[in-house]
Structure 1
Amino acid sequence: MHFLWPQFLWLMAALPVLVLLYVLLLRRKKKLAVRYASLSIVKEAMGTRQFRRHIPPLLFLLAMAAMLLAAARPVAVVTLPSNQQTIILAMDVSGSMRATDVQPNRLVAAQNAAKAFIQELPRHVKVGIVAFAGSAQVAQLPTVNREDLVTAIDRFQLQRATATGNAIVISLATLFPDQGIDLAAMQTGRERPRGTAIDSDRKEKKEVAPVAPGSFSSAAIIMLTDGQRTTGVDPLEAAKLASERGVRVYTVGIGTVDGETIGFEGWSMRVRLDEETLKAISNKTAAEYFYAGTAADLKKVYSTLSSKLTVEKKETEVSALLAMAAAALALLSAGLSLFWFNRIL
């Protein structure tokens, strides 16, 4: 915790002074009480329940402390509902996803986990689907219609090759349709100067200034893959594009890390999960990497991502909370004093 106006903390020095004044008042009251001739009157004046009479002043002191802390405008890291509005699910549909090391196979397990993830999200969150293999395409534009999303996921068709970089670029182009993110130009090495956006007529517009990685809290990308890039844009270059726009790219690896030969209908292919690159993508974009070795692991990963994307920890001024606590303590102090002693303090 830190304070926006720390200079006001010196007011806390008034609290020991209040305690000292309270002690002096008690001693004065005791001296006045012993002047009475009747011992019963003395006990009544001094109070027969010594501990109870100190509770209201103690609560009032705590209320004063909370008010003085609120005046210094404290800032703390708190967990709040996320303002995430759009999530892009980029899902690998390469031929290796038919492997059965994840039951019933990698693709079906991924589809089931993705559909469960979508159902757990708040209804106001838009979700888009990008399917990628040797190329990447938008299977479903961002929408809040869960039925359309499930239909898009069920329509996946397996293809050859893996273009993880293309998946990130297409996801970004979907999130920022007005920024002129050009996948074809990046693939042919004719990428426009970084940070430059174009309009629909391909005219240059104002420069898009890079922001801090992970600072764009209105959208995120979740990319699931079981292999390493075999074609398309360098995924680390694509990750840099996301990082400059503040978009987090969470990566989920599924399958065999050491590599495995998969055969199907007379042909075979060697697949290997490139964890190093997936971790680099998530690190570059201030996100996280998850490994899912089984269908249960994959569901657990998506459940974790759901909780991460629906709440977020961030620095927030908590002066209002302290002021509310101070008011509650002051009211409690006055209420107890009236109930026990028929007076306020």
Structure 2
Amino acid sequence: MIDAMSRLPVFSFLWPDMLWLLAIVLMLTAGYVWLDARRRRAAVHYPALKSVGLGIRGGANWRRHVSPALTLLALTALIFAIARPQAVMMLPSRIETVILVIDLSGSMRAQDVQPSRIRAAQQAAKVLLDAQPAGVNVGVVAMAGTAALAQIPSRRKEDVATAIDRLQPQGGTALGNGLLIALTTLLPQVGNDAERLMNDDTPPKKPEASGKSAGGVAGGLDAAGSEDSVTPGSYASGVIVLFSDGENNAGPGAMQAAQLAATHGVRIYTVGVGTPEGVVLSADGWSSRVKLDEKVLKQVADATGAEYFRLEDATRLTKVYRALNARLAFDKRDQVEITALFAALGALLATCAGLLSLWWFGRVV
């Protein structure tokens, strides 16, 4: 009950001084009550006047109060509109860009997830792609020993699906590089910091709270000049989704890339593909056991204010997708002026009052 009440909008007024006009409504109400009482007294003293001018039968006397009451309510609503009401409400944020990072390392050939880790990841990525609204741009980053943008963010789902289908397993795993390429695709202005990490692993400086870090190709400034613009998970226009088994043997660490993303408010959702016990994989004359490293994937998600999911079997794609897609957008508090709502309500009530009076009594008032 308390939680439900906390979700109710909080009202305030831009011009609260105008609310003194409500005194006019109180005066008109008092005047109407006085006139009605006077008319009743006159009817008692002069019974012949009971039906004069009313045009109604005795059982419908309540009707003569409906139009005045609606008129007073309409006036009240219009006065509220004059005071310019605004409400702090929970509004869904708009995700405009989703970057899919798909691990193509040799360990993704393992078949502890059917039909294989890489195929399960591709199927999961396509399911997520198909569910995106028409206005969302989706990009694809291919990650192995190096990382590259396989598909620029696009609204053409068929192009993105084709890019996903073309991906093939390769050698090496540069988990950090893949995340950095995705981050620079989402926010080109972090390119210098990302390049520094790729070259010498030097941790980047945390950006100032000027709002510059929250812009980019996906929607501009999210909260310019506020501290929220550089807090983990505060960037509302885009997200990164990583499909990987968590192994990394090249380039900067995944946590360094995650920290850079966190300083710019970008969330990185991670989907672990594989099983913790792993499987022995034989290829090119070597054999080794490849396991799902959930620890690093959870750390990346936690550091950026996102969440980790585990994909054990392609048949469970729907369950994973529903959980993931429900979190790609999050609610945020925003202050919205609702003057038009009260103005429309006042006009509607006034119209109803006039029409009912015209229908019942043959006059507008």
Instruction: Please give the TM-score of this superposition, normalised by the length of structure 2.
Output: 0.74
User: Quick check: 213-222 or 150-159, which moved more?
Assistant: 213-222
Counterpart of 1:29 in structure 2 is: 39
Counterpart of 2:157 in structure 1 is: 146
Q: State the Cα deviation string for residues 281-336 of structure 1 (Å, max 9, x = none).
A: 33443434434444354334435555655786551414123332332233223222
What's the offset of the Cα at 1:16?
5.3
Counterpart of 1:244 in structure 2 is: 263
Counterpart of 2:350 in structure 1 is: 330
Counterpart-to-counterpart distance in 1, 2:346 and 2:298: 46
Alignment of structure 1 residues 1-345 onto 2, 5 Å: 1-5=10-14, 7-8=16-17, 10-11=19-20, 14=23, 18-38=28-48, 41=51, 48-70=59-81, 71-79=83-91, 82=94, 84-181=95-192, 183=194, 185-187=196-198, 188-190=200-202, 193-195=205-207, 211-213=229-231, 214-256=233-275, 258-265=276-283, 267-274=287-294, 276-303=295-322, 305-306=324-325, 309=328, 313-319=332-338, 320-345=340-365
What's the offset of the Cα at 1:57?
3.6
Q: Secondary structure at the match of 2:153?
A: strand
Q: Which runs of 5+ in 1 are unaligned?
A: 198-207
Is residue 179–residue 254 contact of structure 2 (8 Å, CA) maintained in 1?
yes
Is residue 96–residue 227 contact of structure 1 (8 Å, CA) maintained in 2?
no
Counterpart of 1:205 in structure 2 is: none
Counterpart-to-counterpart distance in 2, 1:289 and 1:62: 52
Residues paired across the two proteins, number: 332
Counterpart-to-counterpart distance in 1, 2:86 and 2:342: 9
Is residue 8–residue 72 contact of structure 1 (8 Å, CA) maintained in 2?
no
Counterpart of 2:4 in structure 1 is: none
Letter in 2 for 1:32: A
Q: State the Cα deviation string for residues 262-292 of structure 1 (Å, max 9, x = none).
A: 4234512231342x54444334434344344
Counterpart-to-counterpart distance in 1, 2:296 and 2:346: 51
Q: State the Cα deviation string for residues 54-105 of structure 1 (Å, max 9, x = none).
A: 43344344434443444242223254572x4322111222334334444333
Q: State the Cα deviation string for residues 222-270 of structure 1 (Å, max 9, x = none).
A: 22223254543233332222233232323333433x4423423451223
Is residue 172–residue 181 contact of structure 1 (8 Å, CA) maintained in 2?
no
What's the offset of the Cα at 1:194?
4.6
Instruction: Please give the TM-score of this superposition, normalised by the length of structure 1.
Output: 0.78
Letter in 2 for 1:272: L
What's the offset of the Cα at 1:154?
1.0
Counterpart of 1:203 in structure 2 is: none
Counterpart-to-counterpart distance in 2, 1:321 and 1:45: 35
Question: Identity over the aligned pairs, expressed in percent?
Answer: 37
The 1:232/1:342 distance shift into structure 2, 3 A limit, reads farther
User: Quick check: 9-18 or 152-161, which moved more?
Assistant: 9-18
The 1:115/1:270 distance shift into structure 2, 3 A limit, reads closer
Once superposed, which parts of structure 1, at least 4 consecutive aligned residues long, lie more than 6 Å away?
A: none
Q: Which runs of 5+ in 2 are unaligned?
A: 1-9, 213-223
Counterpart-to-counterpart distance in 2, 1:149 and 1:35: 86
The 1:278/1:7 distance shift into structure 2, 3 A limit, reads farther
